[in-house]
Amino acid sequence: MDDPSLPADRHERALTALGRINAVSRAASRLLAEVTRVHRGGLGPVRVLDVACGGGDVLASVARGARDRGIAIEVHGCDLSGPALDRARTLDRSIVTHRLDALRDELPGDFDVVTSNLFLHHLDQAHAVGLLRRMTAAARQSILVQDLLRTRRGYALAWLGLHTLTRSDVARVDGLRSVRAAFTLEEVEALRAEAGLETARVVRVWPQRFVLHWRRGS
In terms of phi and psi (left: phi > 0; alpha: psi -120 to 50; beta: otherwise), the region of 30 is: alpha
Domain encompassing residue 130:
8-215
Residue 28: which CATH number? 3.40.50.150
Q: In this structure, is residue 3 part of a structural domain?
A: no
Domain count, the chain: 1
Q: So what's the pLDDT on residue 19?
A: 64
Q: How far is CA 207 from CA 7, 62, 154, 199, in A?
A: 30, 20, 7, 24
* pTM beyond 0.75, yes or no: yes
Q: In this structure, is residue 207 part of a structural domain?
A: yes
Handedness of CA 123, 29, 153, 6 (dihedral sign): negative
Q: In this structure, is residue 181 part of a structural domain?
A: yes
Per-10-residue mean pLDDT, the chain, length 218? 64 67 83 97 92 95 97 98 95 97 95 98 98 98 97 79 70 76 97 98 94 95
Q: In this structure, is residue 139 part of a structural domain?
A: yes
To the nearest 10°, report the CA torsion of 181, 177, 148, 46: 100
Q: So what's the pLDDT on residue 168?
A: 74
Q: In this structure, is residue 208 part of a structural domain?
A: yes
Q: In this structure, is residue 32 part of a structural domain?
A: yes
Q: So what's the pLDDT on residue 155?
A: 80
Asked if residue 130 lies in contact with residue 20, where contact means CB atoms within 8 angstroms, the answer is no
Q: In this structure, is residue 172 part of a structural domain?
A: yes
